[in-house]
Structure 1
Amino acid sequence: MKKHEAPLDLYPAVPFSDILEKTNVKDEERSMSKETEKIFKEVQKYIDENTDGEPTEEELNELIRKFVDDYNGQIPGPLTPDNAEDAEDYLELAYSSDNAKDALKYAKQALKLDPFNYDAEALVIEFKSTDVTKLVRDYEKAVKNATKHMDEEGYFEEENIGDFWAILETRPYMRLRRAYLDALVNCRMMRRAEEECKELLRLCENDNMGVRFVLMHIYAYFEDEAGALELSEKYGGYDNTQILLPMSVIFYKKGNYVKSRQYLKRLVSRNKDFVRFAKMLVGDSSDELDDIDVSYSYTPNTIEELVIEMQDNLYLFVDLIPYFDWALREAKKFK
């Protein structure tokens, strides 16, 4: 199976920022939004249709420049139900809809036009599920069918394992499995969630979806010191809030206060907001945490990240006020 990687990866001679600027696609962090994925697919299709054999780097650069020129001359107007044509159009309408009824309708239409549109399938599952257990079962069935299809298409060949995010066609599949992982966690099916994390990291070693952070908190939940140490070594997370905090928690739960304090000290030196966060959590001002806006994004190693970490891993932190009380007292001793 040929990998259809993003032009940024395939054609480094043409800066991705140039394409973004010329096509008016705003993506400040250059993360792969669905809009940029769509453009990359169009670039790949344009290249495939206009080349025979393996083009040279100079030919590739010229093709991309021509694509950008053509694209700029054909930028469509606003997308509406009247001018939507393909599954991607209806998926975009589903995401932009301001009510669940219309979003479900558009997602179903996208899935009708493309039965293997896993982003649309995930939306349909979310909107149709009546409880979290049904959500898990629906995702489980969808992932099973999607995996069978992806295997038949050749994406599970050995050369692709570990690089799934670099392959445009596998990203919707990875997002489907990430949603399945979230559903497992929400149902507190933690052993199954642990195995799903490991499989996602096997398929995408670079971990573009932050699965390592989910797994680290699961390890903290199970007090799995060995697993946590191996994971933090692999991804070099000793300066990351969402690695350091659960590592400190693990050793606290195991009664190893020396080790817990060592990770806590690293955390406090890295995230200057930890003390303020802990004070709010254990004091009478915990409701102030609700006023911290984390609806769109956050800056790493800030109180916003700590709030998101708490929200995403309530199963771990809900009964850990004694840890934060201890950590606050210890943090005050640090120079």
Structure 2
Amino acid sequence: MNLLKRGVEMGSEELGETIFKEDKGHFWGLIETRPFMRAKSNYAFALRKSGNTQEAIKHYEELLELNPMDNQGVRYELIEAYLATKSIKKAKDLLKKYPEDSTDNLYNLALIEYMEHGNTVKLKKYLKEAKKHNPFVGDYLSGKKKLPSTLPEYYGWGDENEAIVYAAKFKDVWTEEPALLKIL
């Protein structure tokens, strides 16, 4: 992890302060910034996996400031970190900023609704939509089906492999809400 941190520091030094001010918002469009962006993303990921979620969040948020179009898909890692730390408002804002009808977003909307308000009509609506998009997720989150030891190499929207990938990322957060799992 120290090498990743050093890579981010060296990249920042090499690029210089000016580029961070002048090109904030379209950083990814500059080819010379991409190695830095990749290093920073990898460093944030390593921080998250080592349990330093708050520090990882800081780096992910900085990446989105530099590149709001999120060509790297940082938002998917960030939402996981937000939900793990119960940063519900930030998670909700992130989903609003990057709306999409994906399994991740649909199930996360339901999770957020439950964490904020409990068992509501809106929760039932979100779960219905999420299940319609991918009916396999519930079996993996509830433990009815066991997650494989390795993640699938590919997945398609709405297929079982996508459900496995989602459950592997978010099962810990859902497990903290046993009443929601029963509703699911």
TM score, norm. by length of structure 2: 0.83
1:303 aligns with 2:160: yes
Give the Cα–Cα distance (whole angstroms) in 2 for the partners of residues 292 and 140 of structure 1: 28
Please tell me whether the aligned partners of residues 232 and 243 of structure 1 are also in contact (alpha carbons under 8 angstroms): yes
Give the aligned partner of residue 294 of structure 1.
152
How big is each residue's C-alpha offset from its partner over 1:302-321, in whole Å with a ceiling of 9 and x where there is no partner? Answer: 33222222334455345456
CA distance in 2, matches of 1:144, 1:245: 36
Q: Looking at secondary structure, tell me which structure has more helix per residue.
A: 2
1:204 alignment counterpart: 67
AA aligned opposite 2:104 = Q
* Aligned counterparts, 1:114-133, within 5 A: none
Query: Higher relative CO (CA 8 A, sep ≥ 6), structure 1 or 2?
Result: 2
Find the aligned partners of 2:66 and 2:13 in 1 and give their Cα distance.
Answer: 15
The whole-number CA distance in structure 2 between the counterparts of 1:291 and 1:229 is 31
Task: Tell me which moved more, 220-229 or 160-169.
Answer: 220-229
Once the 2 structures are TM-superposed, how far is the Cα of residue 279 of structure 1 from its aligned partner? 2.4
Kindly, what percent of the aligned residue pairs are identical? 26
Q: What stretches of structure 1 move > 4 A for 4+ residues in a row?
A: 317-322
CA distance in 1, matches of 2:96, 2:140: 31
**TM-score (norm: length of structure 1):** 0.49
On the 8 A contact 1:219/1:228 being kept in 2, the answer is: yes
Q: SS of the residue aligned with 2:95?
A: helix
Task: Tell me how large the CA RMSD over aligned residues is.
Answer: 2.6
Residue deviations 1:2-61 (CA, integer Å, cap 9, x gap): xxxxxxxxxxxxxxxxxxxxxxxxxxxxxxxxxxxxxxxxxxxxxxxxxxxxxxxxxxxx
Q: Take 2:4 and 2:57, find their aligned partners in 1: how far apart are those partners?
A: 16
2:11–2:35 CA contact under 8 A, matched in 1: no
Give the Cα–Cα distance (whole angstroms) in 2 for the partners of residues 164 and 302 of structure 1.
Answer: 34
Contact 2:75 2:94 in 1 (8 A): yes
Partner of 2:110: 248
Q: Give the deviation of 1:221 after TM superposition.
A: 2.1
- Map 1:248-327; keep pairs closer than 5 Å: 248-258=110-120, 259-271=122-134, 274=135, 276-286=136-146, 289-290=147-148, 294-295=152-153, 297-313=154-170, 315-317=172-174, 319=176, 322-327=179-184
For the Cα contact (< 8 Å) 1:217–1:246, is it kept in 2? no
Q: What is the distance in 2 between the residues matched to 1:188 and 1:293?
A: 21
Take 2:172 and 2:52, find their aligned partners in 1: how far apart are those partners? Answer: 11
1:193 is displaced (CA, Å) by 1.6
- CA 1:169–1:246 in structure 2 vs 1: closer, same or farther (change >3 Å)? same
Write out per-residue CA displacement over residues 157-190 of structure 1, whole angstroms, 9 at most, x where no aligned residue: 42x2121222111112111111111111101212
Distance 1:189 1:311 in 2: 19
Indicate if the aligned counterparts of 1:223 and 1:254 stay in contact, CA closer than 8 A. no
Give SS of 1:257's match.
coil
Q: Classify the secondary structure of the residue corresponding to 1:290.
A: coil
Q: State the 1:199 CA deviation.
A: 0.5
The count of residues paired between Structure 1 and Structure 2 equals: 183
Alignment of structure 1 residues 120-269 onto 2, 5 Å: 135=1, 137-151=2-16, 154-158=18-22, 160-237=23-100, 239-258=101-120, 259-269=122-132
Q: Is the 1:161–1:203 contact (alpha carbons within 8 Å) kept by the matching residues of 2?
A: yes
Equivalent residues of 1:252, 1:260 under 8 A apart: yes
Pairing 1:106-117 to 2, within 5 Å after superposition: none
